[in-house]
Amino acid sequence: MAKISVKDLNLYYGDFQALNNIDLKIEEKKVTALIGPSGCGKSTFLRTLNRMNDLIDHVKTEGCLCLEDQDIYDGDVDVVALRRRVGMVFQKPNPFPKSIYENVAYGPKRYGMKDKKQLDEIVERSLKEAALWEEVKDRLNKSALGLSGGQQQRLCIARALAMKPEVLLMDEPTSALDPIATAKIEELIMNLKENYTIVIVTHSMQQAARISDNTAFFLMGDLIETDKTQKLFTTPRDKRTEDYITGRFG
């Protein structure tokens, strides 16, 4: 079933068109990988899904993006509520300069949750879901900036999970991490898809192949091809996809 369906999406930064007529369905509780060479519009596309592009001046978005049956870009959509349903993890780990606990509790607190016991539960659940609980349970009140890069990124995942989002967007979440930290996060992502719909941008073909169910290949603002990951990597339909995944360019 499609959790998010995108139809005829065009996006402009001022006069520059960064996305051309994108049609894409994102399946529920699956991992969808977005691949393509640098500058092809993967991040731009990802950021349309939680309307993070709204923060940039002069961005124009056209087309139809539906989260289930709600049009994301409808005039009276509550962006704040949307972002609670669609969480995001960024390329560079960006924990707040606060304690580990305060980082995870940040979203729920802003949402108005005050009950200490409830917050404790959420923090514990989220950190467990992000496979970080065992490593930090004894120092929840210590600064998040004292964690390693990989731990920080898992903390950012926990922070997003604390809001119990339906969709989790990840923009190259492992590109700043070493192979061991990367492997941990990949394993985590595969576990998370039981409960969450995940869209992940990655530059690593191997990563896409390892963890995703579906893959979409972008090139210069066009969506060239999308398919089950296995099929796309073994029998691509488009010559350009084949060139990219066999490393002939990009």
Partner 1 sequence: MNKQLKEKIAFSILTFTMLLVVVPTVLIIGFIVYKGIGTISWEFLTAMPRKGMTEGGIFPAIVGTLYLVLGTIAFALPLGIGSAIYLTEYATHGKLYKLIRLAILNLAGVPSVVYGLFGLGLFVLFLGFGSSLLAGALTLACLILPVIITASEEALKSVPQSYREASLALGATKWQTIQNVVLPHAMPGIVTGAILGIGRAAGETAPILLTVAAFFLPRLPKSFFDQAMALPYHLYIVSTQVPNMPEEIKYGVALVLLGIVGIFFAIATAIRIKFKMANRA
Q: Using CB under 8 A, which of 38, 80, 116, 194 touches partner 1?
A: 80
Beta-carbon count within 10 A of 78 CB: 8
Integer-rounded Cα radius of gyration of the chain:
18
Q: Is 73 helix (H, G, I), strand (E, B) or coil?
A: coil
For 38, counting Cβ atoms within 10 Å of its Cβ (0-12 exposed, 13-18 middle, 19+ buried), the class is exposed
Residue 20 vs 143, nearer CB to Mg ion = 20
Contact flag: residue 42 with partner 1 (CB under 8 A)? no
User: Which residues lie closer than 8 Å to 230 by C-beta, 6 or more apart?
Assistant: none
Shortest reach from residue 42's CB to Mg ion, in Å? 5
N- to C-terminal Cα separation, the chain? 32
Q: Using CB under 6 A, which of 4, 22, 30, 42 touches ligand ATP?
A: 42
Shortest reach from residue 204's CB to partner 1, in Å? 22
Q: Alpha-carbon torsion 137, 139, 141, 146, what sign?
A: negative
Positions in 42-101 near Mg ion (CB under 5 A): 43
CB-hemisphere CA count at 13 Å for 80? 4
**Pattern of binders to partner 1 over 145-184, x per CB under 8 A?**
x----------x--xx--x---------------------
Residues that bind ligand ATP (CB under 6 A): 13, 16, 18, 36, 38-44, 56
- The residues of the shown chain that bind partner 1, judged by CB under 8 A, are 50, 52, 55, 57, 80-81, 83-84, 87-88, 90, 92, 94-99, 106-107, 110-111, 143, 145, 156, 159-160, 163
